[in-house]
């Protein structure tokens, strides 16, 4: 993805910060573009230069944020350990982001708009798994056309757990969550490499 101009990125951030502030008092549905712009100190014309409406803004901002989660470059050698390491790093980054923005996600959940974030995240994590697995010939040979299905399955499970965590008042800590999911990642890696060994 092309790197975003610093001024444009700053505009996005000002608008997003304004949205977070306003969501403490109103639901997303009740907010107008004008309110978001006035709170951000951004002219409405600038907003509409970048976005169609507030829904487009939310979608595009979350895509930008997820793109910047630094899923990590593929490791040259594909081993159970390297796959576990990159997947653990991915989930740790995701959980750190969700924990930092959980107040916002809960506010958006009241209108069902937190699904925008989680749908984009699921697709990004699925693409992460698919890219990692399909870049190695031995994996493609072992699981063939099941690759997209496996990527979607594990991404859906992982992000589903993150979504569940973000909605709960009395769920586990981020550290407990990561400690729970790490053995699931190990199971995934073990299954994948058993298929390769067959």
* Structural domain boundaries in the chain: 6-65, 73-197
Question: Where does 6-65 sit in CATH, by number?
Answer: 1.10.10.60
The b/e string for 124-138 (b: 16+ C-beta within 10 A; e otherwise) is: bbbebbbebbeeeee
Q: How far apart are the first and last CA of the chain?
A: 37
**Burial track 152-173 (b if 16+ CB lie within 10 A, e otherwise):** bebbeebbebbbebbeeeeeee
pLDDT score of 189: 80
140/183 Cα distance (integer angstroms): 24
- Sequence length of the chain is 198
CA pair distance 184, 43, nearest whole angstrom: 47
Q: Rg (Cα) of the chain, in Å, rounded?
A: 19
The alpha carbon torsion through 182, 187, 190, 195 (nearest 10 deg) reads -140
Rounded distance between C-alpha atoms, residue 92 and residue 86, angstroms: 10
What's the pLDDT score for residue 198?
Answer: 72
Contact in structure between 106 and 166 (CB atoms under 8 Å): yes
- Dist. CA 69–CA 107, nearest whole Å: 22
Interatomic CA distance for residues 45 and 188, integer angstroms: 48
Give me the pLDDT at residue 1, please: 47
Its pTM stands at: 0.84
List b or e across 47-81, with b for residues whose CB sees 16 or more CB atoms inside 10 angstroms. Answer: beeebeebeebbbebbbbbbeebebeeeeeebeee
What does the pLDDT read at residue 14? 94
pLDDT at residue 159, rounded to an integer: 92
Low-confidence ranges of the chain (pLDDT < 50): 1
Q: Taking Cα atoms as reference points, which of 187, 196, 197, 195 lies closest to residue 84?
A: 187
């Amino acid at each position: 993805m092309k790197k975003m101009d610093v001024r444009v990125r700053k505009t996005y951030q000002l608008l997003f910060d304004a949205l977070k502030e306003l969501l403490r008092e109103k639901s997303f549905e009740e907010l107008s573009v004008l309110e978001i712009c006035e709170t951000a100190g951004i002219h409405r014309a600038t907003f509409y230069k970048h976005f169609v409406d507030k829904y487009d803004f939310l979608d595009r901002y979350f895509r930008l944020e997820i793109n910047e989660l630094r899923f990590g470059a593929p490791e040259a050698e594909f081993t159970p350990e390297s796959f576990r390491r990159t997947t653990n790093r991915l989930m740790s980054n995701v959980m750190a982001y969700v924990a930092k923005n959980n107040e916002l996600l809960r506010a958006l959940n009241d209108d069902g708009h937190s699904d925008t974030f989680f749908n984009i995240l699921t697709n990004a994590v699925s693409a992460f798994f698919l890219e990692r697995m399909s870049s190695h010939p031995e994996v493609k040979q072992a699981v063939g056309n099941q690759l997209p299905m496996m990527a979607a399955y594990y991404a859906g499970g992982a992000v589903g757990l993150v979504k569940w965590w973000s909605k709960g008042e009395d769920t586990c800590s981020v550290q407990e969550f990561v400690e729970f999911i790490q053995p699931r990642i190990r199971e995934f890696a073990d299954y994948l490499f058993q298929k390769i060994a067959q």
